[in-house]
């Protein structure tokens, strides 16, 4: 178990970099939201990786003594997942509203439209 060190965290960092790239480079607002969601999931993976205990099992108590993983990150991330979906819904509703006001969901077209008026 010791030999793999912090490889999990390196992969999480790579996922975060890809997600940030999507958020900045995408000109389409829905794709930006997808990027935000990927960033969010990578933060979840980081937390759950911290809570993993080698040779442990899920934190549901058994009759016989056992090694359990840390339940606290699980609780925090449970809350975060649900809040994340709520914010995603709000963001998508904003996009629908932008589309009905500007007729486009391309951020630079919206910007040009604002500057023209």
Partner 1 sequence: MIAIELVVNFTLLGFLLVTALYISQTNRLFRAVMLFGIYSLLTASLFVALDAVDVAFTEAAVGTCIATILMLSALSLTGSRKEVRFRRKNATFAVCVSIALGVALAIGIMDMPQFADPNAPANLHVAPYYLQDSYSEIGIPNVVTSVLASYRGYDTLGEVVVIFTAGIGVIALLTARTSKPKED
The residues in 13-42 that bind partner 1, with binding defined as CB under 8 A, are 13-28, 30-31, 33-35, 37-38, 41
- Taking the complex as a whole, the smallest distance from the CB of residue 115 to partner 1 amounts, in Å, to 13
Task: Name the nearest CA neighbour of 85 among 47, 19, 48, 40.
Answer: 40
By CB under 8 A, is residue 9 in contact with partner 1?
yes
The residue behind tokens 């709000």 is 90
User: Under a CB-based contact definition with an 8 Å cutoff, are residues 70 and 59 in contact?
Assistant: yes
Q: Which is nearer to partner 1, 15 or 115 (CB)?
A: 15
Residue 39 C-beta: closest distance to partner 1, Å: 10
Phi/psi region, residue 5 (left: phi>0; alpha: psi -120 to 50; beta: rest), is left
Evaluated on CA atoms 4, 9, 13, 16, the torsion sign reads positive
Does 110 bind partner 1 (CB under 8 A)? Our answer is no
Site track for partner 1 across 39-78, x = CB under 8 A: --x--xx--xxxxxxxxxxxxxx-----xxxxxxxxx-xx
The reply on whether position 112 binds partner 1 by CB under 8 A is no
């Amino acid at each position: 178990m010791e030999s793999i060190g912090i490889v999990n965290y390196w992969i999480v960092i790579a996922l975060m970099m890809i997600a940030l790239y999507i958020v900045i480079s995408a000109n389409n607002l829905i794709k930006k939201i997808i990027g935000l969601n990927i960033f969010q999931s990578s933060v979840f993976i980081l937390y759950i990786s911290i809570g993993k205990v080698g040779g442990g099992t899920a934190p549901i108590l058994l009759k016989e003594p056992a090694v359990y993983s840390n339940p606290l990150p699980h609780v925090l991330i449970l809350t975060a997942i649900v809040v994340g979906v709520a914010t995603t819904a709000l963001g998508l509703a904003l996009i629908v509203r932008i589309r009905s006001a500007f007729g486009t969901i391309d951020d630079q077209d919206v910007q040009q439209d604002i500057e023209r008026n």
